[in-house]
Structure 1
Amino acid sequence: MDITIKDVAMKAKVSIATVSRVLNQSKPVSQAIKQRVLEVVEELEYNPNPVARSLIMKESKLIGLLIPAIENTYISIFVGAIEEELFKNNYTTLLCNTKRDLDIELHYLKLLKEKYVDGVVLLTSSPKPQQIEFFENHAVPVIFASHTDTEGRFASINIDEFQAAYDATKFLLESGHRKIAFFGGPLAYYQIVQRLEGYKQALKEYGIEYDDKLFYEQDYDIESGYRSGMKLFNNDELPTAIFCVSDMVAIGAIRAAEDSGLRVPEDISVMGFDDIPIAGAYRPALTTVRQPVYELGVQAAQMLLRQIQDKENYVKEARIVPHEIIERGSCRKVTNNTQGGKL
């Protein structure tokens, strides 16, 4: 038989409201009564229903975290950071892996609402209309991570995608490269559009016309980088550098270069994006754009907690955190007589 709060109150000879005050620490009670109630709770092994508690307290201490793919190293670091920060503040994270499927994502959002979550962190590069509609119709605090909401509808945290891609491309241009391929992700993602625009702007400032044949639209994983690399290296005229949308794509590109008889960086330079832990351990170690992934997770959690604690006065900011170019061994400087060509 399940023990109820009524059983605790009867055994302790106090009211149900008093038991609730003791358990939730909502109002002060005398030390003697508090001690008596807690002893009965322990004796009866009473475990309050968390959903019922959330209805009473109007909080569940649960946070929904929606991610597109747990196997992505960038995402796993982000998840670890946000879970750690939330746990320090007595919140439990409900992790939802959507596999980039909108139907799965909407299912999870509805489920999280039914669980009375206190807030949601949505890791997405491009919010979809259905997501926006959900949060406009339901007063659930939310942070969009890895996205910049320039319209001010929701709080968001991200790097400057345009500037990061511009800086990465400029780094290669300043190293003497004039023909640079871009291994990007799906253009349906706002994130990719911004990085492509940054890449184009850097080329333009160096008087280089954008060539859409050097843009490869794939995904963020190793297999995508490998596929793009094998297609690129099958051409007669090759670039001297590749700018990749992620470190995983860069690793795939390096493997494709090796399988095509090319050396990195001697024959072709490869630049990554993210600076995940393997970036520095891989050989050659990746030159890359460092996103402060862990800090992104920590700050996303802190922003959400502030929003939960002060819903009425919270200012929905679009926070931008700094990126950094990390120079390692996968890129080299070139001279005019080493430009392009089948090697």
Structure 2
Amino acid sequence: MKRGRSERTTLLDVATRAGVSPITVSRVLREPEKVSEQLRGRILGLIEDMGYVPDQAARALASRHNSTFGVLVSSLTNPAFVRFMQGVEERVRETNFRVQYANTHLCIHEESRQVKLLLSQNTAGMILAGLEGVDQVRTLLKNAACPVVQVVDIHLQTGGTSIAIDHASAAATATRHLLDCGYRKIAIFGPIGDERGRRRLAGYSKVMQEAGLYDEDLVCHSGPATGAQIGAELLRTALQRHPDLDAVFCQMDDLALGVLFEAQRIGKRVPDDFGICGYNDLDFATMMEPPLTTIKVPLFDMGYRAADMVIRGVVGTMPSDTMVDLGFRLMKRGTTRTL
């Protein structure tokens, strides 16, 4: 008999057709290594033929989690987050876990709301790739019944596992490189309103103050958005205020791309007259002309290993206080002078 639209194939249907118990079918889906290869293949074939889809809500009730990772991000359009999420997806792809993204738009209240929603759904684990109001959610995260991994900054204290880099140190390295190259009037462009941006600004400011060259007017805030057009606009504005500006540290590579386009448009020779350093080392950085000097952040590896930490946390093989500093690299290329 043909099933109606409201009917769905159940696990019992598959078990009856296969001549096995429902527990065996469930084991094929959840612990396939415990079922013989021949039987597993036969049951998987029936599952495919019969169009059986596991009821995740029922599985969540029967389990202590719903097999879903919650990934909290502050922007779904940031190209750096895209690379990070590719790493998460690659690690999860061959498992029974799924990924649910929550965009907070850099709003502290939205962060708290999304954290509460994820925890109320018995999420298997949580990856914090964006977090502005850590004090507002610290208690929630501390009492979470699932592994929590933050990848915002290695020094951000959430009370859980961390796998990240030191953004202040990375920005200091970039700024020091520009100084070593002979540039003196160095601006910083980027979204300094978020946690990463604030830490990068701190690293830049420290080095410039130590050199006796810090000028608050050289701090150019782009707002939460980035992009080549914004980079070009920031450079035009900065040069109006400081015609002797000779270098820019951009907190995003896409900003650096716009800075390069604008510098070339107005006739500045890069890197002889003007230096540019980016951040993240996105794919297009080596394709620019000249290629972009930038800070390489291991975004894909960070996503992959964060997801791996959650998986290991679910099965109880990851200590709750693990801290992993992935480090960074200064990629010296054609937009800064040769030392």
Task: Output the TM-score relative to the length of structure 1.
Answer: 0.81
Residue 95 of structure 1: how far off its partner (Å): 2.9
Which one of the candidate residues 285, 293, 316 is aligned to 2:321? 316
Aligned residue runs from structure 1 range 1-343, under 5 A: 1-5=7-11, 20-21=26-27, 24-25=30-31, 45-102=51-108, 104-124=110-130, 126-151=132-157, 153-186=159-192, 188-206=193-211, 208-219=212-223, 221-222=226-227, 223-235=229-241, 237-310=243-316, 314-332=319-337
> 1:40, 1:303 → 2: CA distance?
34
| Cα 1:58–1:233 shift into 2, 3 Å | same
> 2:83, 2:41 → 1: CA distance?
42
Residue 289 of structure 1: how far off its partner (Å): 0.9
Secondary structure of 1:95's match?
strand
User: Between the two proteins, what is the percent identity of the paired residues?
Assistant: 29
| Cα 1:26–1:130 shift into 2, 3 Å | farther
Residue 323 of structure 1: how far off its partner (Å): 0.9
| Cα 1:127–1:148 shift into 2, 3 Å | farther
Amino acid at match of 1:190: E
Please, which moves more after superposition, 289-298 or 257-266? 257-266
Please, which moves more after superposition, 25-34 or 85-94? 25-34
Structure 2: stretches of 5+ with no match in the other structure: 1-6
Structure 1: stretches of 5+ with no match in the other structure: 335-343
Secondary structure of 1:249's match?
helix
Residue 30 of structure 1: how far off its partner (Å): 9.4
Secondary structure of 1:252's match?
helix
> 1:178, 1:24 → 2: CA distance?
60
| Cα 1:256–1:96 shift into 2, 3 Å | same
Secondary structure of 1:216's match?
strand
Secondary structure of 2:258's match?
helix
Match of 2:4 in 1: none
The one-character-per-residue Cα deviations of 1:116-166 (angstroms, maximum 9, x if unpaired) are 321121212644433434323532322111323454612122211122111
Residue 101 of structure 1: how far off its partner (Å): 4.0
> 2:41, 2:256 → 1: CA distance?
61
> 2:35, 2:222 → 1: CA distance?
62
| Cα 1:16–1:193 shift into 2, 3 Å | closer
CA RMSD of aligned residues (A): 3.3
